[in-house]
Amino acid sequence: MEATDLNKVFRLGPGASLHAVRNVSFGLYKGAVVALVGESGSGKSTVAKLLAGQERPTSGRITLDGKPIDVHAGRAFRHYKSQVQYVFQDPFSSLNPVHTVGYHLIRPVKLHQPGVKNVKNAVTALLEQVRLTPAAQFIEKYPHELSGGQRQRVSFARALAAQPTVLLADEPVSMLDVSIRLEMLKLLDDLRTRLSLALLYITHDIASARYFADEVLVMYGGQIVERGPAEEVTQHPAHPYTQLLIASAPDPDNLGSSLKSGNVVQGATVAGKGGSVGPAPVGCPFSSRCPLADDKCRRDNPALQLLAPARAAACWHLDEAATPRADGSL
């Protein structure tokens, strides 16, 4: 899947609009995980909804296997929906409380796998894929009889029933107990490997993105401000906002070790908001919180600049903000 120059503007009323996504481009590939990282309001979930077809882009292009996607394309779009599945953040509201686990899985199996002769066996296989075993103990249960982790596993199974090639996971572990988050991420990692899924992992936790993702895209104010291999971005962040995220992320394995040496932009404020309401925004979206901001930052929005192969950041002061290695490279 590829997204090219995606923009989404929500009209709020006469003269008022919310610029939720600005010029976002990236690709998702089989067997790979791309993490979209940022604070609440940065536009992460809106990007996922655009990819899932729940929202229509104001401008930009989405393609799957090279074919452009139109959310009003009828049968072609229904096929697209079977290939691209969305796992919601809240396992407590994403399942219908009046229906059993079996009901939640039988319907998508019948809809997306019409050739299956034994639906019960297919449902059992789905539950086993997400490690809800023995499956017979869960088929007749209702959502309120399950733990949060078990409900989210059912959500994974429901998405897999469509036999997708792309999985959009919108903060899939943020509402679960800390003790089971790693277990759930390991399950997702196993599923994407065994099923060759292209996975978009949306999170505000950049520490988990480091361990789980192949590529990290850092989002702020509706746009991507830094991108690159997960290890590179988290260990040697170039953008002041990425530095702020990492400096505030507890990690026992020395996440962002280069920041602890003092090579970090000081003075960035924690308070702020992502999208902008009103006329089309100008300047860098992070300028109101960045200690390096000057008139140029407030006037002109920087484009992503290539720092190294597969590394880029959008900042007018990368020479001051970027954290260097000992050899002087990023």
Would you place residue 281 in the very low, low, confident or very high pLDDT band (cuts 50, 70, 90)?
Answer: low
Whether residue 203 lies inside any domain: the answer is yes
Which runs of consecutive H residues, i.e. helices, occur in the chain?
Answer: 44-52, 75-83, 101-112, 119-129, 136-139, 148-160, 178-195, 206-212, 230-235, 240-247, 295-299, 318-321
pLDDT of 255 reads 52
Q: Is residue 326 part of a domain?
A: no
For 169, the domain range is 2-321
328 domain residue, yes or no: no
Residue 105 and residue 110: Cα distance in Å, rounded? 9
Count the domains in the chain.
1
Q: Is residue 198 part of a domain?
A: yes
Residue 208 — very low, low, confident or very high, per pLDDT cuts 50/70/90? confident
Average pLDDT for the chain? 86
Say if residues 209 and 234 touch (Cβ distance below 8 Å).
yes
**Positive or negative, the Cα torsion across 73, 79, 81, 84?**
negative
The answer to whether position 327 is within a domain reads: no
Report pLDDT for 263: 46
Domain-embedded: residue 63: yes
Q: CA-CA distance, 223 to 231, in Å (whole number)? A: 21
Query: Is residue 26 included in any domain, yes or no?
Result: yes
The confidence band for 252, taking pLDDT boundaries of 50, 70 and 90, is very low
Torsion sign, CA atoms 81, 42, 286, 236: negative
In the sheet that holds 84-87, the strands lie side by side as 84-87, 166-170, 198-203, 33-37, 215-220, 223-229, 311-313, 305-308
The DSSP letter of residue 318 is H
Whether the model clears a pTM of 0.85, i.e. scores above it, the answer is yes
**How far is it, in rounded angstroms, from Cα 142 to Cα 128?**
18
Q: What is the CATH number of the domain that holds 181?
A: 3.40.50.300
Asked if 64 contacts 166 with a C-beta cutoff of 8 angstroms, the reply is: yes
Residue 41 lies in a domain: yes
Asked if pLDDT for residue 183 goes beyond 80, the answer is yes
